[in-house]
Amino acid sequence: MTSTSRRTALKVLGGAAASGGAALTSLGAAPAAAASGRIPADLKPGGKLDRFIADLAAKDQFSGSALLTYRKRPVLSRSHGMADRKKGVRIGPRTRFALGSITKMFTGVAVHQLVRQGKLNYTDKLGAHLDGFPEHIANTVTVHHLFTHSSGLGDFHNLPGYKKASRKWNSPDEVLNGTVDFIRKTDLAFPPGAGSTYSNSAYCLLGAIVAAVSEQSYYTYMKRLFRDAGMGDSGFFTKPQWRTDPTLAHTYYKKPGSSEWTDGLEEHAYIALPPGGSFATCADMDRFAQLLMNNDLLGPAHTSLMLGAKIPKPVDGSEEEPPPPDAPPSTTFAGYGSRTELVGDQWVHGHGGGSTLGTSANLEFFPGSGWVVVVLGNSGNRSSKPIATLARDIILQQ
């Protein structure tokens, strides 16, 4: 990935990035090569990608599902491995996977919906909607800062005492409110807007703002969002539901020095939070991408605001392999609930998600050509990433 300053990036985008207007370009006309309508053989059944997925599965390096669609039509759909190794439940197209940080996109949509309704603004201060924060945080951190990982807040998972306390929470409201209470006790690593650091705490606060502004539980709001989007298999599920529902894939990891898979379900919280951990099928994630690309979730203006490049991407701790020497220049940005990458002259939108407990998920969509790539896994660390990367490379080479 090329190194790009914020000033240079804004210049590349014609100054539109600061306002989100860049997404209008990203949702515009396709490059001539991408618009040709040709489906590469490498993406078809039996092609390079299909063989790569099968090889990883045969080596026990991937367990999960992958779905590629082109202009809403399925091109490749594959499922491998076990959703529950102990009970012998195999993964299939209707298996629901933990999504990790892809959940941030759903939280982002909720915030944009409330902005459209006039109940919220991107320039609102944190203290306008949530109380109990020190004045220097309440009166300086904005919704914009929370969205773009530029608030100065970090990751609540790393706060002293959080892991021990969270194990005792056994209701959705207790999980969200208890986490927000921990965040209230933290200070900023830098003044808002003066830097960037990947922040799960910021997106947790965005979820709390959704609850406060909508005057209902965050989880109730999200249940309606999934329903209205036609994503009937998506949602937030409690640990008791996860234990008993065979459609919810368990997550697996290997302990240091061990070659055996360990079920990580019991190490998760009672329920996931706004930054990560909701569940979905590949089909629902494809639908979500299609709705965004067609402006059906938010309308053109707010879709543009969500997907438009704002500031260069903060590092989230998952260092990626450097691109090959012949790769086109690329710059990744934080949007308002999404990640946006400019690769050559093409835009790629989406998000990734993962954890050391086995969650691994990637969603990428290419408005210029109409491709959507969904790869959801349930074993190993970032096992979905190589598959998504190969699919992306083939698509961008058209």
Does residue 254 belong to any structural domain of this protein? Answer: yes
The verdict on residue 336 lying in a domain is yes
What token pair was written down for 226?
């999934």
Q: How far from 68 is each of 41, 104, 287, 311, CA to CA, in Å?
A: 13, 22, 12, 29
**Is-contact 150 196, C-beta < 8 A?**
yes
- CATH of residue 185: 3.40.710.10
Dump pLDDT digits (tens) for 332-363: 999 999 999 999 889 999 999 999 999 999 99
Backbone angles phi, psi at 38, to 5 degrees: -85, 130
Q: Which residues of the chain have pLDDT under 70?
A: 1-37, 314-327
pTM comes to 0.90
DSSP string, 183-229: HHT---SS-TTS-----HHHHHHHHHHHHHHHTS-HHHHHHHHHHHT
pLDDT at 312: 86
What pLDDT is recorded for position 324? Answer: 60
**Domain presence at residue 279:** yes
Here the tokens at position 3 are 């190194």
C-alpha triplet 58, 59, 65: angle, nearest 5°: 60
H helix intervals, the chain: 6-12, 22-26, 48-58, 103-116, 135-138, 143-147, 162-166, 172-184, 200-214, 218-228, 239-244, 282-293, 299-307, 385-396
User: Which pLDDT does position 22 carry in this prediction?
Assistant: 34
Residue 307 domain-assigned (yes or no): yes
Does residue 154 fall inside a structural domain?
yes
Considering the domain boundaries, does residue 1 fall inside one?
no
Query: Looking at the domain assignment, is residue 106 inside a domain?
Result: yes
Convert the pLDDT of each residue in 233-287 to its tens digit: 999 999 999 999 999 999 999 999 999 999 999 999 999 999 999 999 999 999 9
Quote the pLDDT of residue 32.
37
Q: Would you say residue 47 lies in a domain? A: yes
Which pLDDT score is estimated for 83? Answer: 98
Identify the domain containing residue 31 by its residue range.
Answer: 6-396
Query: What CA–CA distances, in Å, run from 71 to 25, 28, 59, 280, 369?
Result: 18, 15, 32, 21, 8
Q: Can you name the residues that pair with 74 across neighbouring β-strands?
A: 69
Please state the domain count of the chain: 1
